[in-house]
Each structure stands twice: as C-alpha cells, then as structure tokens.
C-alpha cells in the first residue's frame, strides 16, 4: 500500500480480555516500530524490529505485551489480560534502512484502544 | 541513557505570531534529527530532517536549526496559522553503520494557535 496501515482504528475491550493490533508497513521497509501514546503524553517506545534481527523489546511495559513480525512484513502487537491503564493510541511506524541513512519514519494513523 | 527533552511542554500564541520550540538531546552516536508534526488523532508527519553537518533547514514557514556541538535544535514557525495547532515532536536517530538504528522521541510541544 501507499502508507502504513493499522487496524482496527478503534478498539474497545473489556478489562481482562486479550487484544491484537495489526500493522502493515510500507512495502520494502525493513524497520518497524511500535509506540504507545497515552492522552496528553509523548510517544512511548515499545518494540523495534529490524529485518531478521532479534527485536528490541526493551520498551514493552510488562510481560502481558508481546509482538511479532511475520515474514519481515506485517506485525501484530498483542496485549493479554488488558488493564485500564493500557488505554492509549498505539502507533506503528516503518522505515527503509539496510544501510540507507537518514530515511524517514512513516507512521500509521494508530489504533485507539479503550479498556473498560 | 539516550534522551530527548523538549520545551516548552505547551504553548499558546495568537495567529500571525512567530514562535520557537526547543529540543535538547543526549543521544549518541548522533545520526540525524527530525521534527514531526502530529495533528490531533493523526500519526506524526515529518517536517524536516537534519544530519550532523547541517545547521538549518526550512520547509515553508517552518525553519529548523541544529547545533551538534551543544546538542540543541530549534523549530521556528513564522506567521503562525490556525492549522499549525498540533504537537511538534523532536526525534533523534542513532546509526550504528550497519543499517540498524533506533529512534529516540521527545514528548513533544503542544502548540495552540488562537485566532
């Protein structure tokens, strides 16, 4: 596609349920990032995928959060046993790297997650 | 620890006025610095990108400066318009030469333009 696509755009879930958020990066982009943005807050890094390398999971807030990237393309962020504090906008970005410096990160529109 | 600090946290100015947003960083080794604009309910969109050797770069009414020695950047908005109301995010990139890199985000400056 022309840009980074995220789905769903909005998700309301009950506390304790699991949710899956999807990100389709720009074709050919080797780097993929997940960020979380709580209301009125800045972007909080969650996880970073680069090609076939092991992902940088240092930003995941708890073991309830996990992410995978299949085939180096689509990524899924899974939150298990959701809590109300998980409510936020989850943003995905992709970037062309692989030796090319100074490339721009393109963001999706985000998934707004509300845990009730 | 790599950090990006932005100031002010929020700013309200009248339409037509100029303003300057600040970004200080401790990211190392530095590769480049970007300013993003994030409209409410949208994903961030890149405004400018500067590498180590660039001191200033313009994009319409937006002018970014970079002082790599003091690790400071600023974003100057000239003749502000109502559509400039948004969050402005400073992002610093690290490159380790092998193509793998990371982005460090500031928390952003929330700018409100009043008519």
Size (chain B), residues? 115
Give the integer Cα–Cα distance in Å for A96 and A43. Answer: 20
Q: Tell me the C-alpha distance between A98 and A116, whole Å.
A: 41
Lowest mean pLDDT: which of B13-22, B36-45, B84-93, B100-109? B100-109
Give the pLDDT of residue A99. 55
Residues 6+ apart with CB under 8 A from B33: B23, B25, B49, B50, B64, B66, B73, B90, B91, B92, B93
- Residues facing B38 on adjacent strands: B87
Instruction: Give the pLDDT score at B97.
Output: 45
Nearest to A48 among B43, B95, B102 (CB): B102
Q: CA dist A57 to A102, A105, B16, Å? A: 23, 19, 44
Per-residue pLDDT averaged across A26-42, rounded?
Answer: 86
What integer pLDDT is reported at residue B32 of this predicted model? 86
Q: How far apart are the first and last CA of chain B?
A: 41
Partner-chain contact B108 A45, CB within 8 Å: no
B82-102 per-position pLDDT tens digit: 999 999 999 988 765 433 356
C-alpha gyration radius of chain A? 14
What pLDDT is attached to residue A89? Answer: 94
SS3 labels along A12-72: EECCCCCEEEEEECCCCCCEEEEEEECCCCCEEEEEEEECCCCCECCCCCCCCEEEEEHHH
- Selected residue with higher pLDDT from B101 and A17: A17
Q: pLDDT tier at A69 (50, 70, 90 boundaries)?
A: very high
Average pLDDT, chain A: 89
* A80: its two tokens: 């298990």
Interface touch B105/A104, C-beta < 8 Å: no
Least confident of A45-49, A73-77, A94-98, B76-80: A94-98
pLDDT at position A72 is: 76
The residue of chain A with its CA nearest to that of B47 is: A104
User: Taking a contact as any Cβ pair under 8 Å apart, which residues of chain B between 75 and 104 contact chain A?
Assistant: 89, 91, 93, 95, 98-104
Residue B106 to residue A42, Cβ atoms within 8 A: yes
| C-alpha dist (Å) from residue A100 to A97, A103, A104, A113 | 5, 7, 10, 34
The answer to whether B12 and B112 have CB atoms below 8 angstroms apart is: yes
Q: Read off the pLDDT band of B109 (50, 70, 90).
A: very high
Quick one: average pLDDT of A4-28? 96
Percent over 90 (pLDDT), chain A:
59
Average of per-residue pLDDT values in chain B: 89
Q: How many A-B residue pairs are in contact by the CB < 8 A criterion?
A: 65
pLDDT in tens, B43-78: 899 999 888 888 999 999 999 999 988 999 999 999
Q: Which of A83-87, B39-43, B101-105 has the highest mean pLDDT?
A: A83-87
């Amino acid at each position: 596609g022309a840009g980074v696509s995220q789905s769903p755009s909005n998700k309301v879930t009950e506390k304790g349920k699991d949710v899956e958020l999807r990100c389709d990066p720009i074709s050919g982009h080797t780097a993929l990032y997940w960020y979380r943005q709580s209301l009125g807050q800045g972007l909080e890094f969650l996880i970073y995928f680069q090609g076939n390398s092991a992902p940088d999971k240092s930003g995941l807030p708890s073991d309830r959060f996990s992410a995978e990237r299949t085939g180096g393309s689509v990524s899924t962020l899974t939150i298990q046993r959701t809590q109300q504090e998980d409510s936020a906008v989850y943003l995905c970005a992709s970037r062309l790297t692989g030796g090319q410096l100074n490339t721009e990160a393109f963001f999706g529109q985000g998934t707004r997650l509300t845990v009730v | 620890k790599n950090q990006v600090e932005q100031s002010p946290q929020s700013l309200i100015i009248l339409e037509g006025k100029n303003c300057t947003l600040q970004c200080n960083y401790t990211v190392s080794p530095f590769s480049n610095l970007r300013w993003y604009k994030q409209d409410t309910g949208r994903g961030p969109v890149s405004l400018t990108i500067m590498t180590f050797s660039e001191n200033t770069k313009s994009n319409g009414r937006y002018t970014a400066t970079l002082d790599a020695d003091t690790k400071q950047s600023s974003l100057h908005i000239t003749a502000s318009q109502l559509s400039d109301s948004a969050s402005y995010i400073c992002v610093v990139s690290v490159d380790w030469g092998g193509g793998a890199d990371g982005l460090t985000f500031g928390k952003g400056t929330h700018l409100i333009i009043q008519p």
